[in-house]
Chains A and B, each alone.
Chain A
Amino acid sequence: MSKGHFGKFGGRYVPEMLIPALEELEKEYLGAKADKNFKNEFNHHLRNFAGRPTPLTFARNLTEKLGGAKIYLKNEGLNHTGAHKITHCIGHALMAKRMGKKKIIAETGAGQHGLASAAVAAKFGFSCKVYMGATDVERQRPNVFWMERLGAEVIPVSFGSKTLKDAVNAAIKDWIENVEDSYYLLGSVVGPHPYPTMTRDFQSVVGKEARKQILKEEGRLPKRVIACVGGGSNAMGIFSGFLKEKNVKLIGVEAGGTGNAAGEHSSRFNGGSLGIVEGYKSIFLQDDDGQLQKTHSIAAGLDYAGVGPELSYLQSKGKILFASATDSEALNAFELLSKYEGIFPALESSHALAYAIREAPKLDKEDSIIVNISGRGDKDLFIVANALKDKQFGDFLKAESSKDGYNE
Chain B
Amino acid sequence: MNKIDKKILELKDQGRMGLMTHLVVGFPSIEKTISYAKIMEDSGADFIELQIPFSDPIVDGPTIMNACDVALSNGTKVSNAIETMKILSNELSIPLLFMAYYNNLFKYGLERFCKDSRTAGASGLIVPDIPIEEEPNEHFIKTAEKNNLYPIRVLSPASTLERMRKNSRVAKGFIYCTARQGITGVRNRIDPKTVSYLNSVKREINVPIAVGFGISGREHILSLSKHADIAVVGSAIINVINKDYSKAEAKMAEFVRSLLFDT
Q: Which A residues lie at the B interface, using CB under 8 A?
A: 3, 5, 8, 11-17, 19-21, 159-160, 165-166, 169, 172-173, 176-177, 179-180, 273-279, 284, 286, 288-292
Contact = CB atoms under 8 A, between A and B. Distances in A.
Interface of B: 54-59, 61-62, 65-66, 69, 72, 77-78, 102-108, 128-131, 133-134, 137, 154-160, 163, 167, 178, 181-183
Given A14-B131, A16-B163, A292 B56 contact: yes
B134 A15 contact: no
A20 B160 contact: yes
A5 B106 contact: no
9 contacts: A11-B134, A12-B131, A16-B158, A17-B59, A160-B56, A166-B56, A173-B59, A284-B103, A290-B106
B55 A292 contact: yes
Contact of A17 (B103, B137, B181): B181
Contacts of B133: 3, 12, 19
A227 to B, nearest CB: 26
B134 A289 contact: no
B223 to A, nearest CB: 21
A291 B181 contact: no
A13 B69 contact: no
A405 B134 CA distance: 55
Contacts of A166: 56
Contacts of A279: 58, 129
B58 A17 contact: no
B130 A169 contact: no
Contacts, number: 115
Nearest to B156: A17
B150 to A, nearest CB: 17
B188 to A, nearest CB: 15
B158 A20 contact: yes
Contact of A289 (B62, B104, B154): B104
A312 to B, nearest CB: 15
Closest CB pairs A-B (n = 8): A290-B107, A17-B156, A291-B55, A290-B103, A15-B128, A290-B104, A292-B55, A20-B158
A16 B159 contact: yes
Most buried by A among B58, B69, B130: B58
The DSSP consensus for interface residues of chain A is mixed
Contacts of B56: 160, 165-166, 169, 277-278, 292
Given A17-B178, A276-B103, A290 B131 contact: no
A176 B69 CA distance: 21
Given A20-B158, A165-B56, A276 B181 contact: no
A15 B154 contact: yes
Nearest to A19: B131
A99 B25 CA distance: 42
Most buried by B among A5, A15, A286: A15
Contacts of A177: 181-183
Contact of B78 (A277, A284, A286, A289): A289
A78 B181 CA distance: 41
A166 B56 CA distance: 7
A173 B158 contact: no
Nearest to A288: B107
Contacts of B155: 16
Given A20-B159, A291-B72, 20 more contacts: A13-B102, A13-B129, A15-B129, A17-B158, A17-B182, A20-B163, A159-B69, A160-B55, A169-B57, A176-B59, A275-B107, A276-B102, A286-B103, A289-B77, A289-B107, A290-B78, A290-B103, A290-B104, A292-B55, A292-B56
Contact of B134 (A13, A165, A275): A13
A201 B44 CA distance: 55
Contacts of A8: 137
A11 B137 CA distance: 10
Most buried by B among A16, A169, A177, A278: A16
Contacts of B72: 291
A16 B78 contact: no
Most buried by B among A286, A291, A292: A291
A278 B102 contact: no
A273 B154 CA distance: 28
Nearest to A177: B182
Contacts of A290: 54, 78, 103-108
Most buried by B among A176, A179, A274: A176
B134 A291 contact: no
B163 A159 contact: no
B137 to A, nearest CB: 7
Given A12-B131, A16-B155, A20-B158, A173 B58 contact: yes
A273 B155 CA distance: 30
A13 B107 contact: no
